[in-house]
Amino acid sequence: MPIDMRQFHQTFFEESLEGLANMETELLRLEKAGAENGQETVTADLEILNTIFRAAHSIKGGSSTFGFEDVVAFAHVLETRLDAIRDGRLRPTRKVISLLLLSVDCLRSLIISARTGKEGDNSAIDDVRRQLESLESEQPSSPASTVPVSKTPQGKISHWQIMFRPHLHLFHTGNDPLRILRELNDLGECHVQADISSLPGWDRMKPEECYLAWKIELIGPISRETVNEVFSWVAEDCSLEIKLKPMQSLAPRSIAEAVASMDAQAGTLRVSVPKVDALINTVGELVITQTMLSLIASNFSFDNLSRLFSGITQLERNTRELQESVMSIRMLPLSFAFNRLLRLVHDMSQRLGKKVELVFHGEQTEIDKTVIDRLIDPLMHLARNSLDHGIELPAERLAAGKPETGRIELKAYQKGGNVVIEVRDDGRGLSHERIFAKAVERGIVSSSSKLTPEEIAELIFLPGFSTAESVSDLSGRGVGMDVVRNNICSLGGSVEVASQAGRGTCFTVRLPLTLAILDGLSIQVGEHTYILPLVSIVESVRIRPEQVSRPAGSSEMYGLRKEYMPFLRLNELFHIESRSTDLSQGLLVIVEAEGKKAGLYVDDLLGQQQVVIKNLATHYRKVEAISAATILGDGTVAMILDVPGLIRLAHAGTGHATPPVGDAPASTTATPTLN
């Protein structure tokens, strides 16, 4: 019976994409080593080269086995060039490494096409393959093997499209097209394609006449005047078209698009053998406990009561250990998310003409895989924001007394039940004056408003808010920071920003360790039970009515140790009849999120417990001030409160919300079914 090889495709795709990620990381290490030593040609570490070569060789072999011929053909060319570098026949210059990085993009595009059945940008892939094939012929002494050095001041990156068609008599004037092409190559990233459509047959060819034309793509901080100057000697002896093209990457697809497309790994999870062994051992203990309890139940008497209680205690311990084992399987180091930023920073810094160092701290901090999958986009937004708006151009940094190389730092650490991620840069910082002026211009605040620097910084998270003067493919579309906050809040987290002019900006992201289990405090409001996330609770106090006030046009305020904060009566918020109208009979739970505090008035505290989170929007619908739901031990449904949402309601002076479920008062509404 023949074997259906399609059953192994998913594993091949996962391992290939992982191998490409490793290749990318190692190539960036090679380039960084050369940059640190100020070298154009990198002194390659043989171990790094072998790692890169093995990844390409494995992809070639696997794709050949499964019949993915396009992948095989490209991987073969790449493997040949990598082998030439290992043997010393090809020098790993920065330009060569940049081309190898583009080759990784091409392989990724081909593999994704093989998985999805959707065709990629074959013309761009063919162009990269031709460049790979011509590498060895350019070395060892060709000027094309060096890194392009810009002759113009660093500034706005332009993408020029040039059609250079010399007249037949060009050679008669003493000019050489090769000199012009070399000069263009020195200006920036240059891609040249020859047009041989006018080339005659051998019998009609005249060696002293120029029959070729060239299509040129030129990218860099290059003005039109600079391009015109290169062609000034041949302006009367050629047909010349120079067009400014909207900026876009010449790679088959940008790294952001490639990462977004890499969902082949979304449904799988690699688990280390020790974690699986621990899970098996725990299940074994659980089976033993279950057998013991079954024996007690089959011949139960009051004499066995102590053994029954002992068995239940053992069952509780086994269940807790099983939960911890299962949760540890879902936990992955944040390096899975951080490493996705290496290529983004590399490509974007080159396009912007900036020098940037990306530094990681605490990347081995673990967090739930579901959180990591949904965290990548916000982190990319934050890194892109730091690169585009924060880090200055080298000349500007030197003028300000800074090193010409900027620094973006990602730091992760665990704090309580949360993971904290800081994205910090040493750039120019936020311009509070510019942000405030833009907010006044858009009617968000009045010109007479007295806002603190912290309150002004918060304005960047408003939907569509942007201070960019022009729209580019990198920023300025008014989409970004509001998306970051919304995505992080959807994970049960928060994001804050702090900035110092001339010193830099720091975004602080706080996220729960997992989206499956929550440490909560059960509270009672009337006849209903709600869950408050424990990490958001500061303290609980008995209310003293004389410390309650209601300023005009605001919600009720409570004074606690010389600090005044708004508070909400949850019974009024959710239209529930409270056990008592006397404030002194209830409790005020102080909660904190996004740097702000508020008080929640409840009837009673029932106790701390772990709860399993159920998505309310999936089972019912999205409800204001409610983040999720859970099933209690007695089988009833309890709502998990959205603390950041409640705090925003309190500070906005809103004293009511829609009922938690249904449109009628909570005491008469139906409860959604949660499975």
Q: What is the strand order of the sheet 494-500 is part of?
A: 355-361, 405-415, 418-425, 504-512, 494-500
- 3-class secondary-structure state, position 449: coil
User: What are the strands of the beta sheet with 626-631, ordered from one edge?
Assistant: 604-612, 517-525, 528-533, 637-641, 626-631
Q: CA-CA distance, 130 to 122, in Å (whole number)?
A: 12
CB atoms within 10 A of CB 517: 19
Q: What single string gives the DSSP state of each residue in 346-405?
A: HHHHHHHT-EEEEEEESTT-EEEHHHHHHHHHHHHHHHHHIIIIISPPHHHHHHTTS-SE
What is the SS3 assignment for 635?
coil
Contact indicator for 247, 159 with CB cutoff of 8 Å: yes
The pLDDT, as a whole number, for residue 325 is 84
The residue type of 97 is I
Residue 269 CB neighbour total at 10 angstroms? 11
Please give the Cα distance from 107 to 78 (Å, whole number): 9
The closest alpha carbon to 121, from 253, 247, 232, 275, belongs to 253
Identify the residue whose tokens are 């089988």: 635
Residue with tokens 């609770």: 537
- Output helix, strand, coil percentages for the chain, rounded to the nearest 5: 45, 20, 30
The answer to whether 335-512 and 517-668 have equal CATH topology is no
Structure tokens at 637: 């449904």
Element (H, E) at 335: helix 335-338
Question: Distances in Å between the alpha carbon of 287 and those of 291, 292, 299, 319, 325?
Answer: 6, 9, 19, 11, 16
Pairing mode, strands 366-368 and 331-333: antiparallel
Q: How confident is the model at residue 42 (pLDDT cuts 50, 70, 90)?
A: low
The pLDDT, as a whole number, for residue 166 is 93
Identify whether the C-beta of residue 637 lies closer than 8 Å to the C-beta of residue 594. no
Rama region for 379: left / alpha / beta (φ>0; ψ in -120 to 50; rest): alpha
Q: How confident is the model at residue 669 (pLDDT cuts 50, 70, 90)?
A: very low
pLDDT exceeding 70 applies to what percent of the chain? 84
Q: Could you tell me which residue, 591 or 266, shows the higher pLDDT?
A: 591
Partners of 189 in the β-ladder: 219
Percentage of the chain with pLDDT > 90?
17
Is 481 a residue whose pLDDT tops 50?
yes
Side chain identity, residue 666 = A
> Tens of pLDDT along 93-144?
888 998 999 999 999 999 999 888 888 788 888 889 988 888 865 555 433 3
Which of 166-180, 507-521, 615-629, 655-669 bottoms out in mean pLDDT, i.e. has the lowest?
655-669
Q: CA 495 to CA 485: how far, in whole Å?
A: 6
**In the block, which residue shows the tokens 């490209």?**
74
290-301 pLDDT, tens per residue?
Answer: 888 888 888 878
Is it true that domain 335-512 has CATH number 3.30.565.10? Answer: yes
Contact 226, 151 (CB under 8 A): yes
- Would you place residue 3 in the very low, low, confident or very high pLDDT band (cuts 50, 70, 90)? low
Instruction: Return the exposure string of 3-32: e unless at least 16 CB atoms fall within 10 Å of the residue's CB, then b.
Output: eeeeeebeebbbbbbebbbbbbebbbebbb
Given this model, what pLDDT does residue 107 score?
Answer: 93
DSSP summary character for residue 637:
E
pLDDT grade for 67, boundaries at 50, 70 and 90: confident
With b meaning 16 or more CB within 10 Å and e meaning fewer, what string describes 168-192? eebbeeebebeebbeebbebbbbee
Using a 10 angstrom Cβ sphere, with 0-12 exposed, 13-18 middle and 19 or more buried, the burial of residue 498 is middle
In the chain, domain spans: 5-142, 158-245, 273-330, 335-512, 517-668
Q: Which CATH number does 517-668 carry?
A: 2.40.50.180
Q: Is the pLDDT higher at 466 or at 210?
A: 210
Cβ pair 613, 519 in contact under 8 A: no
CATH topology of domain 5-142: Four Helix Bundle (Hemerythrin (Met), subunit A) (1.20.120)
Q: How far is CA 321 from CA 272, 283, 611, in A?
A: 18, 9, 16
Side-chain-side CA neighbours of 287 within 13 Å: the count stands at: 6
Q: Which amino acid is at 345?
A: V
User: Looking at residue 653, what DSSP letter applies?
Assistant: T
Distances (CA, A) of 308 to 116, 282, 295, 317, 633: 56, 20, 10, 14, 20
Q: Which fold has domain 158-245?
A: Alpha-Beta Plaits (3.30.70)
pLDDT band at 396 (very low <50, low <70, confident <90, very high): very high
